[in-house]
């Protein structure tokens, strides 16, 4: 007998009590001091991420989108350049490439991991190629070893988009610690989310670090305030976001472990169903920012789940090479068949650390009843 239970796709109110007192202590301090931008909480978060990732340098920014944009700018990428990335990601990854005047070159993804297929990268490299942006989608790192080898062979910079994968690992290396620079997002629904927009870059390159520090404050020199040798943007991380994210960081590994545990329960429960569960290849720690399965009956399944009060979402319904705004890049339906197949078949189920056994049981029962 199914007991009806609403299961939201994500429920941040279930997380909040764990960090509430720490956040309010910090907020009180911030408001008492009236120090809102680029002060001790921002610096504290940068320190904590440097230690945690690990990386030699980190710069707090306004968003993950700005992290990508400023990484590209700092690497000198712009008009006349090409950047290789995945068509199956959030829009911001490729949009940032277009924003700096460069051309995103889309390489199809693997059907199991949903990540960029490294075997197809080299065929797309030209004299104009300057960088690869591997996106560790849904919490699973890309196969970084061959990607780094290709990048080295062709002198390309590797910008890791770890917006969905902070805390994931690959052969013992944490996401963001393998490429030249890592882009983090603190959007509230991310595994490590703030109370609004926020982001960060982390790198071992002193040169990239110094450039991004200047670029985030309109290109102003650190010690000569109103002198601009380059044109940057305003992308300062505010103290409130920094304090909220910092309060959550010590919990992140435990929260990610819970997501992995929930994913294993889903996987086991769906083993005999005609659907493809998400995979975690050997050597990977998938931190399940999203639990995304594949089904030929995706739309009907989503409808049935909604009828039962189970939140589910499609990430992403249209691959980037087919987005209307990228029409002039010249891609057509059929060019990147795996990404297109995924867009038709993927469905993400409720996933957050605080899901209860009853909630997971209800999601499983709803999926099983559908099939």
Ligand X SMILES: Cc1ncc(COP(=O)(O)O)c(C=O)c1O
Under the binding rule (CB under 6 A), the answer on residue 63 touching ligand X is yes
The reply on whether position 71 binds ligand X by CB under 6 A is no
Residue with tokens 């899901």: 355
Site string for ligand X, 202-231 (x = CB under 6 A): ------------------------------
Q: Does 75 bind ligand X (CB under 6 A)?
A: no
Annotate 312-331 with b (16+ C-beta within 10 A) or e (fewer).
bbbbbeebbbbbeebeeeeb
**Token pair recorded at residue 169:** 């690992």
Residue 30 or 94: the one with the smaller Cβ distance to ligand X is: 94
Residues 161, 180, 239, 345: which binds ligand X (CB under 6 A)? 161
Token pair for residue 346? 């993927």
CA dihedral 129, 236, 289, 12 (to 10 degrees): -160
> Among 9, 59, 293, 282, which residue's Cα sits nearest to residue 182?
59
Residues in the interface with ligand X (CB under 6 A) total 15
Min dist CB 350 to ligand X, Å, is 18
In the 8-state DSSP scheme, what is residue 116? B
28-36, 84-92, 226-234, 250-258 -> range binding ligand X (CB under 6 A): 84-92
Our CB check for ligand X shows the closer of 190 and 262 to be: 190
Q: Pick the binder of ligand X from 30, 59, 65, 201 (CB under 6 A).
A: 65
Q: Does 316 bind ligand X (CB under 6 A)?
A: no
E-state strands within the chain: 57-61, 82-85, 103-106, 129-133, 157-161, 169-170, 173-174, 181-185, 199-203, 284-285, 291-294, 346-349
Q: Does 90 bind ligand X (CB under 6 A)?
A: yes
- φ, ψ dihedrals at 84, nearest 5°: -85, 130
Among 41, 187, 255, 370, indicate the residue that binds ligand X (CB under 6 A): 187
What residue number has its CB nearest to ligand X?
Answer: 64
- Kindly indicate which of the ranges 161-169, 220-228, 233-241, 299-307 contains the residues binding ligand X, using the contact rule CB under 6 A: 161-169
What is the spatial distance between Cα 90 and Cα 196, in angstroms, rounded to a whole number?
18
The residues of the shown chain that bind ligand X, judged by CB under 6 A, are 63-65, 89-90, 92-93, 135, 161, 163-164, 185, 187, 197, 199
């Amino acid at each position: 007998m199914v007991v009806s239970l609403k299961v939201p796709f994500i429920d941040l109110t279930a997380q909040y009590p764990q960090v509430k007192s720490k956040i309010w202590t910090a907020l009180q301090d911030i408001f008492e001091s009236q120090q809102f931008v680029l002060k001790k909480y921002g610096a504290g978060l940068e320190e904590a991420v440097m230690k945690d990732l690990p990386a030699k340098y980190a710069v707090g920014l306004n968003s993950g989108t700005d992290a990508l944009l400023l990484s590209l700018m700092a690497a000198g990428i712009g008009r006349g350049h090409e950047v290789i990335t995945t068509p199956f990601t959030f829009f911001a990854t490729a949009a940032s490439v277009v924003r700096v005047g460069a051309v995103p070159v889309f390489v199809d993804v693997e059907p199991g991991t949903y990540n960029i297929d490294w075997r197809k990268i080299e065929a797309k490299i030209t004299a104009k190629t300057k960088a690869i942006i591997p996106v560790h989608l849904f919490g699973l790192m890309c196969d970084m070893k061959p990607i780094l080898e290709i990048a080295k062979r062709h002198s390309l910079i590797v910008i890791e988009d770890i917006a969905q994968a902070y805390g994931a690992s690959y052969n013992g290396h944490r996401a963001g610690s393998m490429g030249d620079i890592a882009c983090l997002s603190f959007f509230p629904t991310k595994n490590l989310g703030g109370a609004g927009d926020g982001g960060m870059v982390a790198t071992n390159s002193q040169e990239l670090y110094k450039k991004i520090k200047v670029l985030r404050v309109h290109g102003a020199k650190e010690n000569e305030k109103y002198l601009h040798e380059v044109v940057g943007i305003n992308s300062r991380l505010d103290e409130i976001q920094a304090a909220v994210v910092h309060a959550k960081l010590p919990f992140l590994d435990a929260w990610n472990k819970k997501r992995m545990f929930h994913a294993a329960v889903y996987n086991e429960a769906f083993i005999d169903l005609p659907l493809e569960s998400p995979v975690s290849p050997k050597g990977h720690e998938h931190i399940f920012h999203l639990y995304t399965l594949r089904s030929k009956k995706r739309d009907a399944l989503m409808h049935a789940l909604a009828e039962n009060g189970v939140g589910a979402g499609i990430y992403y319904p249209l691959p980037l090479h087919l987005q209307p705004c990228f029409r002039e890049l010249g891609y057509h339906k059929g060019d990147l068949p795996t990404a297109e197949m995924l867009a038709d078949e993927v469905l993400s189920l409720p996933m957050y650390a605080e899901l209860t056994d009853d909630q997971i049981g209800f999601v499983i029962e709803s999926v099983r009843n559908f099939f």
